[in-house]
Amino acid sequence: MSEDFRIRAFRPGDLPRLHEIRTVAYEPIFASFRSIVGDRIADVAIDSAETSQGDYLDKICARGADRDVFVVERDGTIVGFYALGLDYETRVGEIDLNAVDPAYQGGGIGTAMYADALARMKAAGMKVANVATGADDSHAPARRAYEKAGFGPVLPCVYLYKEL
């Protein structure tokens, strides 16, 4: 890992910054979803997904959550985060909600985050790691980062919408 950033466990005071990062990092993704499904469906399905994603971040950062959250700091500023889920029964680890501030993307932070997550999974006895992402163009950077970290093969998933 580069010496100009470090990964540490989440602290409650980090939450506002994680929300800032999540908002700016996912803005193009939600905009892409809106353009794909159209405004009428997006006004219901996408707007609620954006709100629920913020609520989910609050939930996984709460004391006693079933996820561990880690943050990446560069020069004392939080520039990324990831949530890690470990299923000791199936021995499958999951990289859950994660993001790098777009102002810091392309500098190896995502690579270091995923390497850190994989090392933690392996140390915890996990045998398989997974991560989910979208197949649309707005997720291309995430797919590249996950593939660079060694993830694959891809199991396709399709969401279909219908206005009622």
pLDDT digits (tens, 9 = 90+) for 49-63: 888 999 999 999 999
Q: Is the pTM of this model over 0.85?
A: yes
Which residue's entry shows tokens 């540490």? 8
| Ranges of each domain in the chain | 5-148
pLDDT for res 3: 58
Q: Residue 155: pLDDT band by 50, 70, 90 thresholds?
A: confident
pLDDT for res 156: 83
Spatial CB neighbours of 78, under 8 Å, sequence gap ≥ 6 = 14, 17, 18, 21, 71, 72
- At the second CATH level, the architecture of 5-148 is 3-Layer(aba) Sandwich (3.40)
How far apart are the C-alpha atoms of 23 and 19, rounded to whole Å? 6
Which of 47, 81, 77 lies closest to 61, judged by CA?
Answer: 81
pLDDT digits (tens, 9 = 90+) for 70-110: 999 999 999 999 999 999 999 999 999 999 999 999 999 99
How far apart are the C-alpha atoms of 135 and 57, rounded to whole Å? 22
